[in-house]
Structure 1
């Protein structure tokens, strides 16, 4: 989101304006959606960038600017979740037998959905004594990966991680001080993100 876009959002909504550093954070976050990297590029200390990035995204006005910018980007590019899921479905459900004839050529009348799954086509021609020999290599996009991503989108493959306390036992929270509890929670979150 450019500075003038931020100003336009401020004038058309009732959002609290961002500080210059928050504005820079939003601009940087939109590059790769990595809060830690965005915080560092926005000028925050690398030592605290992870916490600052998380903190910035939890602030309602910062999150609102990010959400507005992402919605504007989606509208501008025509790319949204529905488009991505539709394209994944085309890859996942494509049938190469409906696309490639026995001689390696593309079947006339192959559906656009099946053709969308083609990742690359290489054609080599060689002059032989018998005439011109054509060799085709048709590579399809990874069907299993597309199915996996669709399954995750549909909530079919929920990944669960088990967190345990010392020596594999339960996590003891009652006997901890507030500071110890906060430190342990931070350790578990850091461990989960590895």
Structure 2
């Protein structure tokens, strides 16, 4: 026996996409094509459906993944900055915006420093001075000696 996986209708997908944009279920239902008269009830009903909830969860996870850089992407960007492959916009003293300006040496050095730190190339060492009393012994101690 083959069980067919239920699919969302086009209207339900539109509802989900509009809900992700606005966060307002009733408004999303109206924009998706449900009547204004029943939009509130349909929105509530839709949000209770497991298929719609699963679709929303997946879309939100995809969006979060697309918007959040992973460590590989960060390292690739820092490397491109360090190598001078990135450009930036700068404003002249006359207020003119110039695009495609090479990244400054300071920014390239900072990128190199961050890459080195990520890879454990440098460790901060601190010198601590002072007096410390250490008592080592066996057994119970009391104040009487």
- The TM-score by the shorter chain falls in which range? 0.3 to 0.5
TM-score by length of 2: 0.42
Larger gyration radius, structure 1 or structure 2:
2
